[in-house]
Amino acid sequence: MYFITAADTKFYFFLPYMVAQIERLFPKARLIVYDLGMTEQETKQIREWGVEVKKWHIGPGDPVKAPNYYPLALHKPSMILDALERYPNEYAVYLDADAIPNRSFSVPRECDVAVTLVNQDDLEWLESNPHIEYNGIFNTGVMLFGRSKRRLAFVSEWSDRLSEAGGQESDQRIAWLLLEEMEGFSRQEYDVTNVLSVRGENVAVRVLHPDKWNLFALRCNILHGKKRIPPEGVNVLHFKGNSMHNTADFRNCMKMSRMDLQTKGVPLC
């Protein structure tokens, strides 16, 4: 199994944690980091950890965010496709740089692709808010891939549709619209596997429970005390939100939740 992520200088902050956690929890796994704009010193440090780095060009003029704030992440599907084609016949996990493994896990064997939607609390808010039209309900920060080449049909279609949108749609909204074509798809059902017919392939897509596989909005959940989920029951912790790039907020979140994250030479407090 191998992990895929991408970072620029802003997201480099999280990589020492991700690298250390993968080494601890998945000692036989590899990590590929796509460089979206890190410094030479940052990429040098990553390579010294024994991690593969590949420069990825997202294209001149590609907007970082849509006018409505939400990130477009135009690079994501083509970048994932590149990794899956370079390393076929192996299980793969894509994680945003701020989505850090918290427990050991494996890719569900019954699926070609496994995805997470937003959780029920956020879904209720989104359905009453126009932002759902911008970003959809599929969070692409955590995705798992089986070994079958059918996974390529899903990612290729996602990549082509995003390209055809001409920078007017986010990667998440395009992925959401693709999922809605899946037979038996429901916004309220988790831990189910359905079939998506795409590019002549019947792709088995499993919808994972977000509170276990992609727990995000941690700043609100922990620092603001809105909701507490024991971290020992979570496979991936997703530190979304601008303030999570603030060292103090991140480390306070670590201490308040008693999360046992390891790091490559960066103290937690």
Quote the tokens at residue 99.
Answer: 């989505």
Q: Residue 255: how many CB atoms within 10 A of its CB?
A: 11
pLDDT digits (tens, 9 = 90+) for 156-197: 999 999 889 887 788 888 998 999 999 888 877 889 999 999
Its pTM stands at 0.87
- What local confidence, expressed as pLDDT, does residue 65 receive? 46
pLDDT digits (tens, 9 = 90+) for 124-151: 655 666 555 556 678 899 999 999 999 9
Residue 29: φ, ψ to 5°: -85, 155
Asked if residues 74 and 48 have their Cβ atoms less than 8 Å apart, the reply is no
Average pLDDT, the chain: 82
Quote the tokens at residue 144.
Answer: 């798992």
- What local confidence, expressed as pLDDT, does residue 39 receive? 95
For residue 68, name the pLDDT band (cuts at 50, 70, 90): very low
CA distance 79 to 53: 13
Hey, what's the torsion of the CAs at 9, 4, 33, 60, to 10 degrees?
-60
3-class SS at 31?
Answer: strand
CA distance 129 to 72: 19
For residue 66, name the pLDDT band (cuts at 50, 70, 90): very low
**In CATH, what is the architecture of 2-209?**
Alpha-Beta Complex (3.90)
Task: Please indicate whether residue 101 or residue 266 has the higher confidence score (pLDDT).
Answer: 101
Instruction: Decide if pLDDT at 84 tops 80.
Output: yes
pLDDT digits (tens, 9 = 90+) for 12-33: 988 998 999 999 999 999 999 9
- In the chain, what are the domain boundaries? 2-209
What H or E segment, with its residue span, contains residue 37? strand 30-37
pLDDT digits (tens, 9 = 90+) for 146-165: 999 999 999 999 999 988 98
